[in-house]
Chain A
């Protein structure tokens, strides 16, 4: 492929315009710049509109856990904690399930079955989050209280993460609902990546005498590692920012608790809940500051993810698709 940079030579600018290359380059450049501009504008708006809490609380905004709109005390820690814990629970559940399903669909299932199942998975990805919230309220919450909680609390109740009472709503319930929401993303992307692994890789492994599973697990999956990682980060991004479904099942209590059964709160949920009725500039700006925190959190985690990919792919191979 030719590089997109300016070509120095005998062809005049006009000639390039005439054959369309230059026009295409300019138009797509503008589109690409828009993305950067939107991101920059977003950060700028969030930064400018969160000046008050920055001045008043400074760094302590990140590490205090009182959220009191009446006394004008705002701390982001319980929300940061809730966002990270629910996303972590979601990934712990969704990653093995999603990748396992993707391996089955790409490597083991008959192509017809795989295509039909893929259709349903794509359908799941398109379901609005409020529907998942309702699923959470009517199915996961009662199940949590009557089945999951006793099953985990009785044998493992001595562990801090399974201690204490359960109201049905809480970190774990939110994590489970998030897991259900992000699994389609992991399956869809991972399946595509696995399918794009060149055929000769599999054939070489089989020719060397490995079993079907050995060729899948030791050759195909490592080959597709980068792409699978990508699907996980897409899922993480979705989990971090999910608002509606989380607020319906997390309990909306700004407290930090070790127990996964305890109610909590997430950044996106508190912004959605309190923004409309936020009176007073400090209150409103503290909510905007929370938005900035969420942005930073996503940014940092994305950066770490890229770093992880770079580090792990240095010894592995590159994905073909």
Chain B
């Protein structure tokens, strides 16, 4: 009897805690790539501001855009900016627009497994486009061997590995290839899933990495964060200034800084192949998608408050999770843009 009473009191106490925690719930959905930092941000923000509880589902960029357009979530998140058709669809449905807010930066890196090669390789845009188009088929092709003097590359066939699941990582990679290769742009173009001319598909970063480790003379691409956290060696890529740059937090932020000067007002900008001597060319922003008009004033104020915090304190915690920070110019511009949320 005593025990039952004890349990009852415990349950009641729990209920009381749940009821007392009547924080305003704000729902979001979208990109998987920034999920670790978003979940950390929302957690820290909730601890500092117990009145607001952000709930984020990492269902994928495509699903994020779809859900925010349908109005089933309060905000979305995406690795590739919404295109004009998607913006129009949102405008038609809601009678007002949707705003893009860059949050952090990420990058794709080429990773490979070549028998007898241990050092980091240098890749030109022409070599990468040629390999992924299926035109450069041997590792000792001059396009690859040229910038890698002193490395003995085998005369073996190249096995290309790409993502099989729709992914923001693929969007960044194909966006880059579309910029550096006319042929890629017309034949394949950019997107979260594309019709790959050659290669094997692996599911997720871990699937691609697994296939590369298992397959001699293969090459693929993974997220920088994934490569760093799992100690996967990766190559350098030649940027638009002609230098070979290895991806790291500094070179990715440099790419954003290079693009910041021409940052459009809606922040929908691709920073692949960005100008700047130290800029890593296969970098990208990832965005939060915030409706311009809110029916619900407390929600609107909560989101505005979070965005302000994200741009100030929030940015300090991103590098610990291997994301690159936003450059100062972009932060300043975003702070002004927050006022457009009504």
| CB-CB contacts below 8 Å: A141-200 with B | 141-142, 145, 165, 167-169
- Say whether B177 faces chain A, with CB atoms less than 8 Å apart: no
Residues of B in contact with A, size category: 20 to 34
Within the complex, the shortest CB–CB distance from B86 to chain A, in Å, comes to: 8
| CB-CB contacts below 8 Å: A132-147 with B | 137, 141-142, 145
CB-defined contacts of B200 to chain A, threshold 8 Å: 167, 169, 251-253, 263
Residues of A in contact with B, size category: 20 to 34
Within the complex, the shortest CB–CB distance from B240 to chain A, in Å, comes to: 24
CB-defined contacts of B194 to chain A, threshold 8 Å: 68-70
Alpha-carbon distance A73/B207, docked complex (angstroms):
26
- Say whether A274 faces chain B, with CB atoms less than 8 Å apart: yes
**Cβ of B62 and Cβ of A279 under 8 Å apart?**
yes
Given A70-B195, A253-B201, is A276 in contact with B60 using a C-beta cutoff of 8 Å?
A: yes
- Say whether A248 faces chain B, with CB atoms less than 8 Å apart: yes
Alpha-carbon distance A241/B73, docked complex (angstroms):
32
Alpha-carbon distance A141/B190, docked complex (angstroms):
31
Alpha-carbon distance A253/B200, docked complex (angstroms):
6
Alpha-carbon distance A248/B164, docked complex (angstroms):
10
Alpha-carbon distance A297/B66, docked complex (angstroms):
30
- Say whether B193 faces chain A, with CB atoms less than 8 Å apart: yes
**Cβ of A274 and Cβ of B193 under 8 Å apart?**
yes
Given A69-B193, A70-B191, A253-B201, is A279 in contact with B65 using a C-beta cutoff of 8 Å?
A: yes
Alpha-carbon distance A231/B207, docked complex (angstroms):
33
**Cβ of B192 and Cβ of A279 under 8 Å apart?**
yes
- Say whether A71 faces chain B, with CB atoms less than 8 Å apart: yes
- Say whether A28 faces chain B, with CB atoms less than 8 Å apart: no
Nearest chain A residue, comparing its CB with the CB of B171 = A277
Alpha-carbon distance A141/B201, docked complex (angstroms):
14
Given A69-B195, A71-B195, A251-B201, is A277 in contact with B165 using a C-beta cutoff of 8 Å?
A: yes
**Cβ of B202 and Cβ of A276 under 8 Å apart?**
no
| CB-CB contacts below 8 Å: B74-121 with A | 86
**Cβ of B195 and Cβ of A66 under 8 Å apart?**
yes
**Cβ of A273 and Cβ of B210 under 8 Å apart?**
no
CB-defined contacts of B215 to chain A, threshold 8 Å: 145, 167-168
- Say whether A247 faces chain B, with CB atoms less than 8 Å apart: yes
CB-defined contacts of B201 to chain A, threshold 8 Å: 251-253, 263, 265, 273
**Cβ of B60 and Cβ of A277 under 8 Å apart?**
yes
CB-defined contacts of B62 to chain A, threshold 8 Å: 276-279
- Say whether A67 faces chain B, with CB atoms less than 8 Å apart: yes
Top 10 nearest A-B pairs (CB, nearest first) are: A277-B166, A252-B201, A252-B164, A276-B60, A68-B195, A279-B62, A277-B62, A273-B165, A277-B192, A251-B200
A-B contact pairs, 21 of them (CB 8 A): A70-B188, A70-B189, A137-B210, A167-B159, A167-B200, A248-B203, A252-B200, A252-B203, A253-B199, A263-B200, A273-B201, A274-B165, A276-B59, A276-B60, A276-B165, A277-B60, A277-B61, A277-B165, A277-B166, A277-B193, A279-B86
Beyond known contacts A253-B200, A263-B201, A274-B193: 4 more, CB 8 A cutoff: A71-B189, A253-B199, A263-B200, A276-B165
